[in-house]
Amino acid sequence: MSEPSQPLDLELDCRGLACPLPVIRLAQRIGEVPVGGLLGVAATDAAARVDVPAWCRMRQQEYVGERAAPDGVPVFVVRRLG
Amino acid sequence: MQTHEASLSLKQVTDSRRLSESTDVFRGWVGRRVSRVGRPYGSGVTDSPGAGAATAPRYLDAASSEPLHPAARETLLAALDHGYADPRRLHRAGRNARLLLDNAREVVAQCLGVRRDEVSFTASGTDAVHRGLLGLLRGRPHHGQRVVHSAVEHSAVLHAARWAQAPQAPPLSVGCDARGRVSPEDLAAAVAEAGGAAGVGAAALQAANHEVGTVQDVAGAAAALAELEVPLFVDACASMGRLPLPEGWATAAGSAHKWGGPAGVGVLLVRKGARWATPFPGDDRVDERAAGFENVPAALAAAAALQAVVAEREETAARQHALVARLRERVAAEVPDVEVVGDPDHRLPHVVTFSCLYVDGEALVTELDRAGFGVASGSACTASTLEPSHVLAAMGALTHGNVRVSLTRESTADDVDALMAVLPGVVASIRERLGA
């Protein structure tokens, strides 16, 4: 597991987007971070808390956990494994 | 069952139906467009393959509500004319109503393998859930009042538990595995941790999950809880009539419209000897466990439907189980990026749930409806709360793009094949529109 403080390689602003758009954005942009790097999805949609980890399981990526953006919005962090 | 009296006088019912049509109580009804939602039961009419789904809608949401069983319809229409009176009255009409109500209770007791005096009819399945769970707390006022429940209970259980909570003792939720199974050991451990009977008033575990169909180990949970002397409430609404009632409950609940009875009839079971007291204002009616004027015709119709469904159960369950197995297999094979959820084997016979990546549940339900298929969804965008299904969340399953297909007793292999003929295309078109 990562250090909680490891910086994100990319953060997606999915505030205000309803499901499944945050997960679609995640899938579209994960290729932009290096293998082993971190991508964060900042999302206000309640489903993202379940669906980002579920996507990681289905797509063989690692769900790292949840952080809070400065505005308090949760950021769901994914490590690219491949 | 003594319904011979109730088979009289269908003519009057027919006349009143004509009246209601002329006064346009059906205004705005979409029945003409979806006229096959209620199939022509017993008429021998079947769909010809490839007949075009748009002209022949297929209702695949029996887990929300099963179409009225013909046995219930016949009984209901007849009983409306014979069960109108107050069953507490001593006059002839009152005695007739009382007789029908007692018959209904007797039939339900036989079908469920319980004692007649353990059966009460309530205003709904939700009402039975509330009374079943909360009555256990009220029945043991000097014990703990905390509720321990599984994370995948129906929202009726969760609402009741929250409503009951003592200020310092919010309900405790016990998680499940990826298939939605709740471990009896986990349930018992949570109860023990909360102080056993000194801290906990009741535990709640469903017979089977209403969203994903997974059957729970109620007997195992009951055995573990008995050692702790904490009573168990079992929500059997999703399975009643379809699977035998599990053992070990102190109270249990069922809902008639889920087995093909009319809506507005719940079944509350209180085990003889269980400590139960009404959690709501009492009422001086026939049955102290319920309140309000008894809906005698609907209770009798519910009983008639249950009797018919239980008589056909083995055949229906085997057929539906095989159809759902086929649907599970085909969905997984033919829809890319899909996750079929719930226990593949130990499940309700008629329910399958799956989630499609990169698809929004509302669009999926709407597009399938347009293609002629009525299905449900646990996705947030289809919920009144805009929250994703707490059941899918507890399982760690994908919550978006979710569909629950549940077969009626009339569903056929042709329905499954017709759904599979359109589903991959519908999913692909929504993904394309969303830019996935």
Cβ contact, residue pair B401, A27, below 8 Å: no
Q: What is the pTM for the complete model shown?
A: 0.90
The fold of the B313-434 domain, in CATH, is: Aspartate Aminotransferase, domain 1 (3.90.1150)
Which two tokens mark B75? Answer: 């009984």
C-alpha torsion B254→B260→B262→B267, nearest 10: -20
Query: What is the helix (H) or strand (E) element at residue B201, kind and residue range?
Result: strand B200-204
| Domain B80-310: which CATH number of 3.10.180.10, 3.65.10.10, 3.40.640.10, 3.40.50.150 | 3.40.640.10
Residues with Cβ within 8 Å of residue B377, at least 6 apart in sequence: B361, B362, B364, B365, B402, B403, B404
Cβ contact, residue pair A24, B435, below 8 Å: yes
Q: Which amino acid would we find at residue B100? A: L
Contacts of A57 in chain B (CB under 8 A): 396
Q: Does B398 touch chain A (CB under 8 A)?
A: yes
Cβ contact, residue pair A54, B396, below 8 Å: yes
Q: Which of A21, A45, A50 sits opposite B393 (nearest CB)?
A: A50
Could you state, in order of their start, the residue ranges of all structural domains in chain B? 80-310, 313-434
Contacts of B380 in chain A (CB under 8 A): 18-19, 45-47
Q: Does B151 touch chain A (CB under 8 A)?
A: no
The predicted pLDDT at position B26 comes to 64
Residue B43: pLDDT band (50, 70, 90) is very low
Contacts of A46 in chain B (CB under 8 A): 380, 386-388
Q: Does A63 touch chain B (CB under 8 A)?
A: no
Nearest to A64 by CA among A76, A82, A46: A76
HSE-up (13 A, CA, CB side) for residue B243: 24
Q: Does A10 touch chain B (CB under 8 A)?
A: no
Cβ contact, residue pair B388, A47, below 8 Å: yes
Neighbouring-strand partners of residue A10: A39
Neighbouring-strand partners of residue A76: A41, A66
B39 pLDDT above the threshold of 90: no
Nearest to B184 by CA among B217, B157, B214: B217
Indicate the burial class of B32 (C-beta count within 10 angstroms; 0-12, 13-18, 19 or more): exposed
The predicted pLDDT at position B28 comes to 65
A67/A73 Cα distance (integer angstroms):
9
Query: What is the helix (H) or strand (E) element at residue B200, kind and residue range?
Result: strand B200-204
Instruction: For the beta carbon of residue B420, count every other beta carbon within 10 angstroms.
Output: 16
Q: Which of B398, B435, B436 sits opposite A51 (nearest CB)?
A: B398
Which two tokens mark B170? Answer: 């919010």
Tell me which chain B residue has its CA closest to the CA of residue A51. Answer: B398
Helix (H, G, I), strand (E, B) or coil at A42: strand
Task: Specify whether the backbone of B402 is left (phi greater than 0), alpha (psi in -120 to 50) or beta.
Answer: beta
The predicted pLDDT at position A4 comes to 58
Cβ contact, residue pair A19, B381, below 8 Å: yes
Cβ contact, residue pair A51, B360, below 8 Å: no
The predicted pLDDT at position B46 comes to 43
Q: Does B397 touch chain A (CB under 8 A)?
A: yes
The predicted pLDDT at position B124 comes to 98
Contacts of A23 in chain B (CB under 8 A): 357-358, 400
B255/B399 Cα distance (integer angstroms):
26
The predicted pLDDT at position B165 comes to 74
Could you state, in order of their start, the residue ranges of all structural domains in chain A? 10-40+49-75
Q: What is the mean pLDDT of residues B165-186?
A: 92
Nearest to B258 by CA among B150, B152, B409, B377: B409
Tell me which chain B residue has its CA closest to the CA of residue A22. Answer: B358
HSE-up (13 A, CA, CB side) for residue B219: 4
B405 pLDDT above the threshold of 70: yes
Cβ contact, residue pair A19, B380, below 8 Å: yes
The predicted pLDDT at position A81 comes to 97
Q: Does B403 touch chain A (CB under 8 A)?
A: no
Q: Does B369 touch chain A (CB under 8 A)?
A: no
Model confidence pLDDT, tens digit, residues B337-391:
999 999 999 999 999 999 999 999 999 999 999 999 999 998 877 777 778 999 9
The predicted pLDDT at position B41 comes to 36
Which two tokens mark B225? Answer: 């809880």
Which two tokens mark B134? Answer: 């909360």
Q: For each of chain A's 82 residues, which pLDDT tens digit applies?
A: 445 578 999 999 999 999 899 999 999 999 999 999 999 999 999 999 999 999 999 999 999 999 999 999 999 999 999 8
CA of B339 vs chain A CAs: smallest distance (Å): 8
Cα distances (Å, whole numbers) of residue B67 to B141, B243, B256, B297, B392: 41, 18, 11, 17, 26
Helix (H, G, I), strand (E, B) or coil at A64: strand
Model confidence pLDDT, tens digit, residues B50-91:
444 445 799 999 999 999 999 999 999 999 999 999 999 999
Backbone angles phi, psi at B267, to 5 degrees: -120, 120
B323 pLDDT above the threshold of 80: yes
Residue with tokens 């809906």: B295
Tell me which chain A residue has its CA closest to the CA of residue B399. Answer: A51
| First-last CA distance in chain A | 16
Indicate the burial class of B154 (C-beta count within 10 angstroms; 0-12, 13-18, 19 or more): buried
Cα distances (Å, whole numbers) of residue B346 to B92, B183, B214: 49, 14, 6
Cα distances (Å, whole numbers) of residue B38 to B42, B193, B260, B342, B420: 12, 50, 12, 28, 22
Active-site option among A10, A19, A47, A73: A19
Which two tokens mark B432? Answer: 């394309």
The predicted pLDDT at position B56 comes to 74
Residue B31: pLDDT band (50, 70, 90) is low
High-pLDDT (> 70) share of chain B, %: 87
Asked about B381 being catalytic, the answer comes back as: yes
Contact B382/B341 with Cβ under 8 angstroms? no
Q: Which amino acid would we find at residue B36? A: R
Q: Which of A21, A24, A50 sits opposite B399 (nearest CB)?
A: A50
Cβ contact, residue pair B434, A53, below 8 Å: no
Q: What is the mean pLDDT of residues B204-223?
A: 98
- What is the rounded average pLDDT for all residues in chain B? 89
B336/B324 Cα distance (integer angstroms):
19
pLDDT: which is higher, B20 or B121: B121
CA of B357 vs chain A CAs: smallest distance (Å): 8
Contact B197/B85 with Cβ under 8 angstroms? no
Which two tokens mark B320? Answer: 């539906």
Contacts of A49 in chain B (CB under 8 A): 393
C-alpha torsion B124→B127→B132→B137, nearest 10: 180
Neighbouring-strand partners of residue B354: B340, B403
Residues with Cβ within 8 Å of residue A24, at least 6 apart in sequence: B358, B434, B435, B436
Q: What is the largest CA-CA distance in chain A?
A: 31
The predicted pLDDT at position B382 comes to 72
Cβ contact, residue pair A18, B392, below 8 Å: no
Q: Does A17 touch chain B (CB under 8 A)?
A: no
The predicted pLDDT at position B9 comes to 35
The predicted pLDDT at position B305 comes to 98
Model confidence pLDDT, tens digit, residues B82-124:
999 999 999 999 999 999 999 999 999 999 999 999 999 999 9
